[in-house]
Amino acid sequence: MKKVNRNNGAIDVTTVGGRIKKLRTDAGFTQEELAARLHLEGKSAISNYENNSRGVSAEMLMQLSRLFHVSADYILNGDSPDNLDPIVNEAIEILNNLKTDKAKKSALEMLRQIQILEG
């Protein structure tokens, strides 16, 4: 039986699971890849988090926060700091979407060079 997608691909970010799924997909990870990064066996735990059928432990919440560079408040409540500059938010999104550690390190080095020039 084929699974029907009733939400036209939109992710419901009003739930903890929806926010986890959005963070995962924005980062370009499959459920399997995220599970591996979190040292979980298989994608079922990620699926359960995203479907809100399993609660997120405090330890897992901290791991997700660190991995995706967001606050625990964002994952739990959808709260995001209103005081961040939109350009900073875009830079964070770009960095989060880079696929390799090498690319991330290169981008960070470029930012450091700009910071030095701003001196």
pLDDT digits (tens, 9 = 90+) for 70-89: 888 899 998 765 556 677 77
Residue 16 to residue 114: CA distance in whole angstroms: 36
Give the CATH number of domain 16-77. 1.10.260.40
Q: Write out the residue limits of the CATH 1.10.260.40 domain(s) in the chain.
A: 16-77
**Residue ranges for the chain with pLDDT beneath 50:** 1-6
- Classified as helix, coil or strand, 38 is coil
At 83 the pLDDT is 53
